[in-house]
Chains A and B, each alone.
Chain A
Amino acid sequence: MSEQLLFAAEVTLNGLMAGVLYALVALGFVLIFKASGIFNYAQGVMALFAALTLVGIQQGQVPFSHLINAIFGTNIHHFPWQVPSIIAIILAAGVMVGFAWLVERYILKHLVGQPDIILFMATIGLAYFMEGFGDIMWGSEIKTLDVGLPSGLNETIDTVTYNWFGYGFFIDNLDIVAAVIAALLVAALTIFSQYSKQGRALRAVADDHSAALSVGISLRFIWVLVWSIAGFVALVAGIMWGAKSGVQFSLSLIALKALPVLMLGGFTSIPGAIIGGLIIGVGEQLFEFAIGPLIGGATQNWFAYVLALVFLIFRPQGLFGEKIIERV
């Protein structure tokens, strides 16, 4: 194989891995949109908040310590303990369930029947509120996230590809873990929605709110459920991205990476989020590899959107989105 072809193959593999990480973020958007028709602008901030909460619990940080110290003149920052990663993850997931309940109780419940744009605006407000709330609760400094995930060059792939092609491929161990976790998440969500009572109720609400209500399905319960699941997905995305860069406020910007994925894959399809993520991941990395150097580089951000727009021209509902036919 020529050297350029080997490089292209390496870039493609890494693009697939990057795509999985994008898909993890997009998944949260899809879950909420599918169940309630809300485009949740706060999904990126939810990932940030979940990761902040995880690190805070893990490191025994006192929530709101800056506020407490400022009001009472104390100097407390940490509890005298640290929490094992797995327990911290469970507790952080619990916090996200509590958050889902609060969102339903104080925002969504009051906006039932409002136009979609009002619900969208509410999630914008929620995003800004959560960003500030997370800041007050856990502080603005960058936090190192260590839940024991492996990272760095995968030796086996490097050795095997070197023996085969004379060139060792670089694949990050963290990306491999992310791919496995994403696959497990999708499988679990599919099984949940197909075979559990709540999952079927969720699908019924997604198909038709009014019909679901008429057969006794609680819309409020479904909303809490779906926001909880989206919160858990946000926690997983926050862990994966936070392990790369530390947990910091720019984590909320990963939502920007999910938008072209959603445009391409469709807002209502879980497989669409995965396939869309993979296409965007591979597309942007290959474009940067092949064309980037000719036009000054740093093409990934805008090319992802261009790629999504090209798909939209031919399939406006996205690759896996539902085609809406309105009869008059």
Chain B
Amino acid sequence: MKFSRVAAASVAALMVGAPAMAELVFPSLSYRTGPFAAGGIPYADGFADYMTLLNERDGGVGGVKISVPECETAYNTEKGVECYEATKGEGALVYNPLSTGITYQLIPKATADDIPLYTPGYGRTSAANGKVFSHVFNFPANYWNGASAAVNHLLDINGADLSGKKVILLHFNGAYGKEPIPTLTALGEKHGFDFSAIPVDYPGQEQKSQWLQIRRERPDYVLFWGWGVMNQVAIQEAGNIRFPLENMIGVWWSGAEHDVKPAGDAATGYKAVAFHGVGSDYPVFGDIQKYVVDAGKAAGNGDNVGTVIYNRGVYAAMMLAEAAKKAQEIHGVADITSGQMRDGLEQLEITDARMTELGMEGFGPAFKVSCENHGGPGTAAISQWDAGKGTWSLISDFGPSDMEVIQPLIDADSMAYAAENNIAERCN
């Protein structure tokens, strides 16, 4: 009698504990601790809040609720791989690792597991070649598009002539920071500007000698690939040596509010490449405020809504939700698998009309992903900081990058990867 009561209770407990319905699982490999937390927190909040918005307002995607299990990587590659292994069994549809180092480690693993990776604006640039990288997507823009966008802006403000100009890249001394060097070298040769690179070692708290070198060499422009404390110190040091901040352009990972605020008024005029909109003047943020923040369901305290990195998290979440919707349409099922999610990503089409429906009109470009092109349109804009107002604003439209220079670099790097790993070309 006693045994049967225990058994019945156990069965009942198991039934209660079992999942009641299917979920779309989008793990968030976040970093809310450690030296890079200042960038990791708003991104993770934006990503989670958009998914919560879909759950609360729309009932999920295609009637299926979304789940966002978070795993803390502390921006550490080993921990990131552990997070991947720990969460993939939960039915993960796609990973957005938010780290170039973690992405490099996960590319072969995720491909073997038939789980796609989504790395917007970071990761392995040449993964834009879908013929080689079947499971990696880095639309709408990658580092090389970013480098080209910065040079395009310099061309715009110099009457399309950069000959004789001196451009220095101040970069993080690691894989991420070195990514734009081939592109900028090629662009320097094409446009006749003198290009050189100055590395900064991790973490970048001390950059005195680099900025003394910049002061000596008197470049016309400084391009900047930093992350973490390196950003705040570089912008502060630029102000200290009185380098005109309007002549310094950071990549999108060096252009957030927390990068410029410590430098105070001296940071006014600093520019950054952007691949999505800035500010909160889009209807989607009103919905996030109403359905998520005001309802007490926000991942953070709501302070980050509309900040640059938060917006990037929202944008990434939107792309994945749209791809899941596409996958549901293609396969005619609501509860999709990771392989089907990959198909959704590969056939994703973002139109201006759809962006308007989503409350994100003008937030990012319209584009179509294809089997060959996983990198999207490669368009980017330039944003500029106004310390007085405490706001970033876009000072250019989303323009195309120089694919004449970039595409051969993507092809060369991806084909080298294919040769090293015996990968046969797809999409034929």
Contacts and interface: CB of A to CB of B under 8 A. Distances in A.
Given A7-B216, A14-B208, A141 B38 contact: yes
Interface string A233-250: 000000001001110111
B35 interface: yes
B192 interface: no
Contacts of A10: 212
A297 to B, nearest CB: 5
Given A18-B206, A170-B241, A248-B38, A140 B32 contact: yes
Interface stretch (B117-125, B134-142, B197-205): B197-205
A246 B229 CA distance: 8
A301 B173 CA distance: 12
Contacts of A296: 199
A194 interface: no
A241 B199 contact: no
Interface string A278-298: 000000110011001000111
Given A10-B212, A248-B35, A153 B242 contact: yes
Given A142-B232, A253-B203, A297-B198, A285 B37 contact: no
Interface residues of A, number: 49
Given A18-B206, A152-B240, A250-B203, A144 B261 contact: yes
A244 B216 contact: no
B4 interface: no
B183 interface: no
A202 interface: no
B255 to A, nearest CB: 14
Contacts, number: 115
Given A66-B301, A153-B240, A285 B205 contact: no
Interface in B102-118: none
Interface stretch (A69-77, A94-102, A209-217): A69-77
B382 interface: no
A244 B236 contact: yes
Interface string B293-312: 00010000100000000000
Contact of B212 (A14, A141, A146): A14
A11 interface: yes
Contact of B205 (A75, A142, A245): A245
Contact of B262 (A132, A144, A153, A284): A144
B35 A250 contact: yes
Interface in B188-218: 198-203, 205-206, 208-210, 212-213, 215-216
Contacts of A170: 212, 215, 240-241
A144 to B, nearest CB: 5
Contacts of B201: 298, 300-302
Interface of A, secondary structure class, is helix
A300 B264 CA distance: 28
B206 A300 contact: yes
B239 interface: yes
B132 interface: no
A283 to B, nearest CB: 12
Contacts of B236: 151, 244-245
Contacts of B351: none
A284 B212 CA distance: 14
A-B CB proximity, top 6 nearest? A246-B262, A250-B35, A298-B199, A250-B229, A140-B37, A298-B173
Given A11-B209, A17-B208, A301-B202, 10 more contacts: A14-B212, A152-B239, A170-B241, A250-B35, A253-B203, A296-B199, A297-B173, A298-B173, A298-B200, A301-B201
Interface of B: 32-38, 41, 173, 198-203, 205-206, 208-210, 212-213, 215-216, 228-229, 232-233, 236, 239-242, 258, 261-262, 264, 266, 296, 301
27 contacts: A10-B212, A73-B296, A77-B301, A131-B33, A135-B33, A140-B33, A140-B37, A140-B41, A144-B262, A152-B239, A153-B242, A170-B212, A170-B215, A170-B241, A245-B205, A245-B229, A248-B229, A249-B33, A249-B34, A250-B35, A250-B228, A251-B205, A253-B35, A253-B205, A289-B213, A297-B173, A297-B210
